[in-house]
Structures are given as C-alpha cells and as structure tokens.
Structure 1
Amino acid sequence: MEPSHSALIVTIPEAEPVVGAHRERLDTAASWGVPAHVTVLYPFLPPGRLDQRVLGTLSRVAAGVPAFFVRLERLGWFGDRVVWLAPEPAEPFQQLTAAIMGRFPGVRPYEGAFDDVVPHLTIGHDHPAPALTAAGEAIEAHLPIRSRVDTLRLITGRPRPGGSWLTRALFPLG
C-alpha cells in the first residue's frame, strides 16, 4: 500500500532502550514502526510531491543547522492525555522547523492545530492517566538520556494501525 503522509523527524536512538516498551503500549506511532523521535514537521508534503527539488531543499536546510547535543531529562504533559520527554535545548528543533517552514510556507506543523509547537519525544497518549503516569515514573528513573543530533530524517507511511513508516531520506546537519 502506497504511503499517504510524510514527516520530518530527528530520531533519538539512545532513548529507545528506556522508552521503547512504553511507546509500544502507549504511543500509536510506535505501532506504525516510527522509532523514538522528536518531530520537526508533521505532516510534511504528500509523498507524491517529494521530488529531487524538495529533497535538495531539505538537504540545504539541514546543512544550515549545526549538529548539536541534546538531553532528555524531564517529563512534560499536554493536559492529562499526553506524556512526553522534553529535549534540552529545544531551540535547535525549533530552528529546524522554522527553517523548513520558511522554504515550504504552505506546510504548518500539525496542520496549524496548535499555536505553539513544543519539541517533545512522545512516550504515550490517549490512554488512562494512571497508565501514562506509571510509564513516566518508570522512565524518570533512567534520566537523563543524552544524544548527539546530526541527522534530519524524512519518513513516509500511512497513519493507521499496522502502517509501515519507512525512511525516505537522511539529511546531515551542518
């Protein structure tokens, strides 16, 4: 089945051993095959529009943002429905999002659903609060998680159970 959506993410492989089992139970994107990550821009362009011009533009944007180190050291919540890890510093993720939006002005994070986009690594969502709280508490015992961010990843897939999201391209940061 052809992909229907694309996303730009930064994977955090060092987080996978700590958050992986919780995400499998509590984060729908994990069931789609999406690894532990911080979203830079979702949805991005329809997969049919991901031509060489778009890929070249993404490559230049990524090269303009220096690689950086990030720490995941505290939990955050969106209401009582989403538990997540806060990346510090958050600014490089915001810089990547802003730079991409500047080159693709019709693309808005989460289709403009939120006034402020907060960089985060989702642990779980839309499950009973006690399950989300327990996952967050279990993860806190293993913080901080440190990672070097040096690549922007373009993935494509279908946002539905059993959907398989695959990496379409990798773009090194500067």
Structure 2
Amino acid sequence: MSPTGHSVLQVPVPELEPFVVARTRHYDTDYVSADPAFVHAHVTALAPFLDRDALTQEAVDLVAEIARTTSPFTFALEIVSTFPNGIVHLLPDPAAPFAALTADLWRAFPQCPPYAGRFGDVVPHLTLDALSDTVTEASTRGLVDAHVPVRCRAERLDLAWYEPGACRILHSWPLGTTA
C-alpha cells in the first residue's frame, strides 16, 4: 500500500449511502469524498488492491473483463453482525455472488489477497461502525434499523482510491456488459 493511500475494488450500495456517509463524517471527515461518483457505502470485492504504480492498463483491462463476465445480482441487507475485531457490519443475502467476485479477482491478482491475508475466511459485508466505549452492536442496530431491511442490486464494480482528503473513483465498470 502507498503511504498516502490505497486502492479498493468495491461494489457500491447507494441505498445505504446517507447512513454510511454520516458515520464516516462522524469519525473522519478526511474520508468523506467530494467525488460525486464515489459511493461510501459498499461491499468490498478486493482490498487492498494494487499500489498506484501497479495500476497499469493491463490490470485495468483484466478487472474490466471480470466485471463484464459477472452478472448483476440482487441481494438484501438486514442482518447486523460484529467481527471479532469490532467492526459492526451488515451481511448481504445471498453472500455467494460477492464471494465469487472476490475469488475471481483474487485468482486474477494473486498478489492481492483479500484484506492482505489477515483473516481466514472472507465474509462479504458492508461496514457500518466500530465498537468503542460508546458504540455497541445494539446501538448501531438501533441507528441502522430505519434503513433496513433493504433490497439492493449489484450493478457495477468500482476501483476506488482511499486517501485522506482525496478519496475518489479511478474506474468504474458495469457488471455483465458486452460492450
């Protein structure tokens, strides 16, 4: 990862954008993007992805091909859960299409294991919050209850750049297109 930022392949979830932007703004306004294409609410497909100098046209074309061969799919978000590291999240149902997309991307980019290989099984999720003295799974559930359950459709894959004060979309591909 670059000392000033890192890239992420992510599936945007615009249905929960207001909630996730509010939580991001609460914690760190440097990560609230001014890029109108940037969707903060997302399910990560592969992160960390390539460093800036490795984002070659060949890499971009390979991601485009994976997006093209991945059909759009619907999913629901309702179940709130917490990882052992304290990340409170929503679990997509079904999770299999996200897991398959991650597996395809990882196979194409074996130098980019999901979450740098820090976790065993990769669990598709949409991050909501982090446990603290004032945040519990129950308090997060109380906040997000007004927004879930929600039915969503995965229609695109974004290559996002995360950097304080400069979060932005580098590329975006519709899923399942032949163009």
Determine the structure 2 residue equivalent to 1:63.
68
Q: 1:136 to 1:49 in 2, by over 3 A?
A: same
Q: 1:126 to 1:74 in 2, by over 3 A?
A: closer
Q: Does 1:139 align with 2:140?
A: no
Q: Which amino acid is the alignment partner of residue 154 of structure 1?
A: L
Q: Secondary structure at the match of 1:114?
A: coil
CA distance in 2, matches of 1:152, 1:13: 13
Q: 1:76 to 1:131 in 2, by over 3 A?
A: closer
Q: Which moved more, 1:2-11 or 1:102-111?
A: 2-11
Deviations 1:21-80 (A, max 9, x none): 234325x59835361111111100101111111111001111111101111011011137
Q: Secondary structure at the match of 1:128?
A: coil
Q: Which amino acid is the alignment partner of residue 59 of structure 2?
A: V
Determine the structure 1 residue equivalent to 2:96.
91
2:86 to 63, 67, 81: 81
- Displacement of 1:120 in angstroms is 0.6
TM-score with structure 1 setting the length: 0.86
Q: Which amino acid is the alignment partner of residue 173 of structure 1?
A: L
Do the aligned residues in 2 keep the contact of 1:10 with 1:149 (CA within 8 Å)? yes
TM-score with structure 2 setting the length: 0.84
CA distance in 2, matches of 1:171, 1:116: 26
CA distance in 2, matches of 1:16, 1:61: 25
Paired positions, count: 170
1:124 to 129, 143, 153: 129
Deviations 1:71-128 (A, max 9, x none): 1011011137221111111111111110011111111011100011111111111532
CA distance in 2, matches of 1:30, 1:146: 30
Q: 1:102 to 1:172 in 2, by over 3 A?
A: same
CA distance in 1, matches of 2:19, 2:5: 30
Determine the structure 1 residue equivalent to 2:36.
none
Do the aligned residues in 1 keep the contact of 2:75 with 2:92 (CA within 8 Å)? yes
Q: Percent identity, aligned pairs only? A: 36
CA distance in 2, matches of 1:29, 1:56: 32
Determine the structure 2 residue equivalent to 1:172.
174
Q: Which amino acid is the alignment partner of residue 153 of structure 1?
A: D
CA distance in 2, matches of 1:49, 1:172: 22
Q: Unpaired runs of 5+ in structure 1?
A: none
CA RMSD of aligned residues (A): 2.4
Q: Does 1:106 align with 2:107?
A: no
Do the aligned residues in 2 keep the contact of 1:3 with 1:47 (CA within 8 Å)? no
Q: Which amino acid is the alignment partner of residue 31 of structure 1?
A: Y
Determine the structure 2 residue equivalent to 1:153.
158
Determine the structure 2 residue equivalent to 1:31.
31
